[in-house]
Amino acid sequence: MTSLEFTNQVQKISYSLKPVAMNLTRDADDAKDLVQETLLKALLNKDKFKAGTNLKAWLYTIMRNTFINNYNKITKRNSNIDSTEYFQYFNTDENYITHNGASSDFVVTDINEAIATLSADYRTPFMMYYIGYKYLEIAEKLQIPIGTVKNRIHIARKELKQALKVYAPGV
């Protein structure tokens, strides 16, 4: 599909986006902004659209995700949490208080030993994720499906949780 064909199809569908945007935002100006942002993202990411798939559904997905992201930004910005009560109890649990460096050394040693006991199939993706790689990057580097990466990281976490349960407060 050429850029001109893509743009023409998006333009035809764009008229059906406004009622959906209005339903999401419940405000005419916000709906116009949402449609405009959706169209901009669609045009900027036209290379990610696969020809032969449902363009209208793709645009609706972009719109929904854009709305959710904007909503989350607004609610995070406007949330006023009274944290004074929280800070009264912050790090007061005896399990988290280190009286000297020796006990923290034991904890670090136990964590490292638990990680070392993991199978390499689980340890490698887990450590890559731990140091900051994204699931897709791990999958590409290890040449395994992304679902396998997620599963192996999940299993590694589960095994580490089991191995380190002595440090779990209240268990």
pLDDT at 101: 61
Higher pLDDT, 170 or 56: 56
CB 113 within 8 A of CB 123: no
Q: Which contiguous run of DSSP H or E holds residue 161?
A: helix 146-163
Using DSSP's 3-state secondary structure scheme, residue 28 falls into: helix
Dist. CA 156–CA 121, nearest whole Å: 9
CB 156 within 8 A of CB 126: yes
Q: Residue 4's Cα: distance from chain center in Å?
A: 34
Tokens 């589960």 correspond to 158
Give me the domains of the chain, ranges plus CATH numbers.
Answer: 1-80 (1.10.1740.10), 96-170 (1.10.10.10)
CB 123 within 8 A of CB 156: yes
On average, the pLDDT of the chain sits at 84
Express each pLDDT in 128-158 by its tens digit. Answer: 998 888 999 999 999 999 999 999 999 999 9
Express each pLDDT in 66-112 by its tens digit. Answer: 999 988 888 776 655 555 555 555 555 555 555 556 666 777 888 88
pTM over 0.75: no
